[in-house]
């Protein structure tokens, strides 16, 4: 049920809502926008009709246009985004204090506005918020790696984890970087593009967290350890079995401050 409502006093019958619909679900043949009955089930819920309406006359799913942020005058400048992208860093030093729950919720709710294939939006963000759980996960992971190494040897290609587990014994947390939180994004494997959806969400999280003064690090080592060496450590996290684990990211309040952008250049461009 699309629950479309048109404020006829505001609607200027410009037709943008119908024009911008990716699946031709709307028509303005009758003057005001209407759903094409036989195409209603083609709606992917993208809300383009709602976002494109210049006068806020269009409502779908019961949404109130007044509750959206107007884009005019509210977008960051290209320079600001450039600085964010060049200035965000992988953070590997963290304060020993958790991020406020409300801040974590806010970040995740914003990144849930990112694109997903066919607007699937079936992402699950599993966040280790609780510090006792984070400590247990850390300990279980290192102990598990040592046990696997002793019993069967590490899987081929993962021998590096032997040194990582040894470093942990002398207090160096290479896997989790002593971060107070771990974020895992997953999505049902039968979706149109679960891997890509997860990576996009994590990319948005990294940037948004950096803009908010938080540190993050993409955690490929952790992902390999938890999924390939000690998968039992994931069980308490209750990620559905039919999900692919898209990626893992450690995050928290940084114990390091960066003062300038890096200067990477030499990007290969294949101009045709
Ligand atoms: C997919 C991916 C996986 C990564 N995995 C790890 C990791 O396991 N541990 C780590 O310390 N850094 C990891 N990184 C961070 C990279 O090492 C880092 O992005 C790179 O050195 C450049 O530094 P910068 O992010 O500060 O620009 C990963 C980055 C990406 C994109």
Q: How far is the CA of 10 from the centre of ligand 1 (A)?
A: 49
What are the average pLDDT values for consecutive 10-residue runs of the chain, which has 272 residues? 96 97 94 96 97 98 98 98 98 98 98 97 98 97 97 94 97 98 98 98 98 98 98 97 98 98 94 97
Tell me if 122 CB under 6 Å of ligand 1.
no
Query: DSSP letters along 178-191, please?
Result: T-SEEEEEEEETTS
Counting every residue, how long is the chain?
272
Indicate the DSSP class of residue 269: -
Residues forming beta bridges with residue 184, ordered by sequence position: 126, 248
Tell me if 216 CB under 6 Å of ligand 1.
no
Residue 271, token pair as written in the block: 């101009």
Do 214 and 251 contact (CB within 8 A), yes or no?
yes
Structural domains present in the chain: 5-67 (3.30.70.20), 80-252 (3.40.109.10)
What pLDDT score was predicted for residue 52?
Answer: 98
Ligand 1 mutation pick, 89, 90, 196, 252, max ligand atoms within 8 A of CB = 90
CA 73 to CA 71: how far, in whole Å? Answer: 6
CA 219 to CA 207: how far, in whole Å? Answer: 15
What pLDDT score was predicted for residue 204?
Answer: 98
CA 105 to CA 236: how far, in whole Å? Answer: 21
What pLDDT score was predicted for residue 265?
Answer: 86
Tell me if 220 CB under 6 Å of ligand 1.
yes
């Amino acid at each position: 049920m699309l629950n479309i409502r048109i404020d006829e006093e505001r609607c200027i019958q410009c037709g943008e809502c119908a024009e911008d619909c990716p699946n031709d679900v709307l028509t303005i043949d009758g003057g005001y926008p209407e759903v094409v009955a036989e195409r209603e089930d083609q709606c992917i819920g993208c809300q383009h009709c709602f976002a494109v309406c210049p006068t806020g006359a269009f409502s779908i799913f019961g949404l109130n246009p007044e509750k959206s942020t107007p884009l005019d005058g509210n977008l960051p400048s290209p320079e600001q985004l450039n600085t964010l992208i060049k200035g965000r860093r992988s953070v590997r030093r963290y304060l020993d204090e958790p991020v406020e729950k409300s801040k974590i919720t806010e970040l995740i709710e914003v990144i849930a506005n990112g694109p997903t294939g066919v607007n699937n939006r079936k992402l699950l963000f599993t966040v280790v918020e609780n510090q006792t759980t984070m400590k247990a996960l850390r300990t279980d992971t290192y102990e598990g790696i040592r046990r696997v190494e002793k019993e069967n040897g590490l899987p081929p290609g993962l021998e590096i984890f032997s040194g990582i587990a040894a470093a942990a014994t002398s207090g160096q947390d290479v896997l989790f970087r002593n971060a107070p939180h771990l974020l895992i994004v997953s999505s049902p494997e039968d979706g149109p593009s679960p891997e890509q959806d997860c990576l996009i969400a994590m990319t948005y999280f990294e940037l948004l967290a950096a803009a908010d003064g938080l540190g993050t690090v993409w955690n490929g080592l952790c992902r390999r350890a938890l999924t390939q060496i000690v998968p039992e450590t994931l069980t308490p996290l209750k990620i559905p079995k039919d999900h692919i684990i898209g990626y893992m990211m450690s995050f928290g309040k940084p114990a390091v401050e960066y003062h300038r952008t890096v200067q990477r250049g030499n990007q290969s461009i294949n101009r045709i």
